[in-house]
Amino acid sequence: MTTSTAKTGGYTGIDLNADRNRNSTLGAVALAILGLVWANGHLDGYQMQLLNLVAINAILAVSLNFIYGFAGMFSLGHAGFMAIGAYVSALCILTPDQKDMIWLLEPIWGPLNTVHTSFFVSVLLGGLAAALCGFLIAFPVMRLGGDYLGIATLGFAEIIRVLFTNWPALTNGAIGLRGIPAYANLWWNYAWLGLTLFVILAILKSNFGNVLKSIRDDEIAAQTMGINTTAYRTMAFCLGAFFAGVGGALMGSLVTTIQPKMFNFLLTFNIMMIVVAGGLGSITGSLVGAAVVTLMLEWLRIIEYPIDVNMTYLMGHAWLQVLITALALAALWFSFRQVRKSGRGLSMKKALWSLPIVFCGLILAGFVLRWLNADILPAEFTIPGIPGMRMLLFSVALILIIIFRRQGMMGSREFSWNAFYRFFRVPEKQKNIPMAKGAAMEISGVTMRFGGVTAIDNLSMTIPEKKVVGLIGPNGAGKTTVFNVITGFYRPQEGRVVFQGLPMTQLEPRTVCAVGVARTFQNIRLFAGGTVLENVMTGCHVRQDSRWWMAPLRLPMFHKEENEIRRKSYALLARLGLAELADEKAASLPYGAQRRLEIARALATDPSFLLLDEPAAGMNPQESGELMRFIEKVRDEFDLTILMIEHDMKVVMGVCSHIWVLEYGRLIAEGGPDDIRSNPKVISAYLGHQATETA
């Protein structure tokens, strides 16, 4: 989904980049047209055919995605709609003379013989006929949910196919129609694709798109919002059917011959494959998927043809032998490792990684045989083409996508110009911003909204240098959001954060770390697989000067720095009382030690500002007492500013010299511990009547 206002000023709901984006779209369309002009002049017939197929498959995929990914109706009837579109359109553009030639067994039904229309009108009629059929079957099948709808629509498609086979007066039966005029050129196909996209995107981007998605996600809730779900589902189904009919009509004119058996379940399956591979619920995904799957299917035809292997040629080139052997050995070794790593027992992963082992093993065996000069392997042989191999690979691909990357290539994301320009944005030159004396960080007027919810509302804080200060407030007050804004995970809609004169709100999290702000997390996020020492060493990476490629080269500079990091990490652990745990797995540490390790790792990045998110969470009073002393020690020894979020009032009141109190994203109080303790607003919002007892 586009987040159009992430970068711009206030949240008005209006895309401030609308002009730019519209111009960009127009530019892209113009570019696409130029591309088509070029393609028209330069590509050969086969390539043109592919390009046309991409457009038609894109129309079909977008229409199926509209029905299924957006309106949530599992429809397997696309082939039926395509058949209707193809036949209606063909009947409209075949001339009466041609019809006389085609309908030999049984004469064509009277009135049809006289019909003759232009190509555009025929495609339109094809689409409308499909939509009409969609409307008629929508009545009985729309009441069915989920899989029943799928099987009923599949049934519809089969009925259409059987009907067309057995109705020679209308369709010329199983023989089908030949010599359909090939009007469907690049221009028509891409113009129809453009129209499809225009109509469907216009609906999806409007509030009606939200309505459709709400029906998909929760039909009952949608009904209680006053939405006529049946009407909208029917509308979506018919519109999808319309464009499926259009796609079928174009397909018919492209291939010029149609038969009922063309429109079988396999066709629906291919389109389904495109939609799933591209990403259910992403129009962009359907377009990308149409291109990738169409071209892949063509490209994979190779494996259904025989392949000639000339061993003498391979053996004749020493360097080629060496290269292939090396590659095969490397692949073999890598696959073996993967199989070993995938653990005991049978697993999907193991099975997959065994395939390259077999393949490479065969290659190597072939070489060995030739070297031994055995006549077992002929010098030249042909790997026979295997029919069915292409669909076999394709079905494997579909299963793998569903198991390992269910969301497809795009998930439900869409292309957006805002994201596009964000990607190419040149970082603005940072200007130093003057700060108040003695302040480590200034947060001024920061507002952070998520959708309609304001998580932080116009927050301003001036954090003094070299102090331990606290941020408190009830759950959901927005405390952690403040941390996420400071450390660059969120971009606030308004306001700015200045650290040592540097504006922070545009920085990436890693840059925030580089300028000297480190943090810990509420729910400890250690690198669980690594040891304690490794966790801390990872923290040192941000200050590391040597580069990864120096490691295999064993450069002295690398060695020196590596030793330095190891020494420094040990020293850090020693200072924090974790030295004897250095080689333990981080995940195996007791809770309190994990908290301290996370702080140690943060300190390894050499920060001058440290953010601690609920460091005392889950600690008993004794542990939290130790933690208080620990924090003060860290502040003194490492000479830094600490801002902490904490619920344990004893800790907060004990170590913080200044405290800010948030409620519903707004600052309701700030001051020293004594001011906060006695502030009536804070008591009623957060501390409650027990404040006097516990604090």
Partner 1 sequence: MTFELFIQNFFNALTVGSLYALIAIGYTMVYGILRFINFAHGDVFMVGAYFIFFGAATFALPWPLAAVAAIVGSAALGIIVDRIAYRPLREAPRISALISAIGVSFLLENLGLVIFTGLPRPAVQPEWMVNPIILGNIRILPISFIVPLVTAVLVMGLLWLVYRTRPGLAMRAISRDIETTRLMGVSIDRIIALTFGLGSALAAAAGIMWAMRYPQIHPFMGVMPGFKAFIAAVVGGIGSIQGAVLGGVLLGTVEIMAVAFYPELSGYRDAFAFVLLIVILLFRPTGLLGEKLDDKI
Partner 2 sequence: MLELRDMHVRYGGIHAVQGVNITVNKGEIVTLIGANGAGKSSTVRAVAGLVKGASGSIMYTGRDGAATELIGQPPERMVPLGLALSPEGRRILPHLTVSENLDLGAYSRSDRKAIAEDKEWIYGLFPRLKERHWQKGGTLSGGEQQMLAVGRALMSRPDLLMLDEPSLGLAPILVQEIFEIIRRLNTEDGKTILLIEQNAYAALNIAHKAYILEVGNIVLEGSGKDLLQNHKVKEAYLGG
- By the criterion CB under 8 A, which residues form the site for partner 1? 74, 140-141, 143-144, 146-148, 150-152, 154-156, 158-159, 162-163, 165-166, 220, 265-266, 269, 272, 276, 346, 348, 351, 386-389, 391-392, 394-396, 398-399, 402-403, 406
Find the DSSP H helices in 279-317. Answer: 283-299, 311-316
| 169: Cα separation from own chain's centroid | 50
Among 12, 114, 523, 622, binds partner 2 (CB under 8 A): 523
CA-wise closest residue to 607 among 498, 512, 482, 508: 512
Nearer to partner 1, 72 or 127 (CB): 72
Among 10, 316, 509, 618, binds partner 2 (CB under 8 A): 618
Nearer to partner 2, 373 or 523 (CB): 523
Nearer to partner 2, 502 or 597 (CB): 597
Nearer to partner 1, 358 or 587 (CB): 358
Q: What residue 363 binds from partner 2, partner 1, none (CB within 5 to 8 A, per partner kind)?
A: none
x/- mask, partner 2, residues 167-186, rule CB under 8 A, reads --------------------
> Is residue 529 part of the contact set for partner 2 (CB under 8 A)?
no
CB of 286 to partner 1, least distance (A): 15
- Counts of helices then strands in the chain (DSSP H, E): 30, 12
CB of 663 to partner 2, least distance (A): 17
CB of 270 to partner 1, least distance (A): 10
Q: What residue 158 binds from partner 1, partner 2, none (CB within 5 to 8 A, per partner kind)?
A: partner 1
- The length of the chain in residues reads 695
CB of 264 to partner 1, least distance (A): 9
CB of 104 to partner 1, least distance (A): 18
CB of 73 to partner 1, least distance (A): 11
- Residues 72 and 301 sit within 8 Å (Cβ to Cβ): no
Q: Find all residues with CB under 8 Å of 97, minimum gap 6, and list them.
A: none
CA-wise closest residue to 138 among 147, 149, 128: 149
CB of 617 to partner 2, least distance (A): 8
Nearer to partner 1, 82 or 612 (CB): 82
Q: What residue 147 binds from partner 2, partner 1, none (CB within 5 to 8 A, per partner kind)?
A: partner 1
214 sits in which H/E element: helix 207-217
| Cα 91 from Cα 85, distance rounded (Å) | 10
Find the DSSP H helices in 342-388. Answer: 348-371
CB of 67 to partner 1, least distance (A): 13
- Cα–Cα–Cα angle for 400, 406, 412, rounded to 5 degrees: 145
Nearer to partner 1, 154 or 662 (CB): 154
Nearer to partner 1, 70 or 183 (CB): 70
CB of 75 to partner 1, least distance (A): 12
Nearer to partner 1, 155 or 530 (CB): 155
User: What are the percentages of helix, strand and coil residues in the chain, rounded to 5?
Assistant: 60, 10, 30
Give the full edge-to-edge strand order of the sheet including 502-503. Answer: 453-464, 439-450, 494-499, 502-503
CB of 520 to partner 2, least distance (A): 17
89 sits in which H/E element: helix 78-93
Nearer to partner 2, 476 or 672 (CB): 476
Q: What is the DSSP letter of 66?
A: I
| Cα 115 from Cα 110, distance rounded (Å) | 10
Among 591, 639, 657, 692, binds partner 2 (CB under 8 A): 591
CB of 618 to partner 2, least distance (A): 5
- Residues 504 and 512 sit within 8 Å (Cβ to Cβ): yes
Buried b (16+ CB within 10 A) or exposed e, 443-465: beebbbbeeeebbbbebebbbee
Q: What residue 473 binds from partner 1, partner 2, none (CB within 5 to 8 A, per partner kind)?
A: none
| Cα 40 from Cα 11, distance rounded (Å) | 46
Nearer to partner 2, 187 or 591 (CB): 591
| Cα 42 from Cα 7, distance rounded (Å) | 42
Nearer to partner 2, 378 or 618 (CB): 618
Look at strands 468-472 and 658-663 and give their pairing. parallel
Q: What residue 523 binds from partner 2, partner 1, none (CB within 5 to 8 A, per partner kind)?
A: partner 2
Please give the single-letter amino acid code of residue 608: S
Please give the single-letter amino acid code of residue 691: A
| Cα 188 from Cα 119, distance rounded (Å) | 9
**Contact residues: partner 2, CB under 8 A:** 523, 591, 618
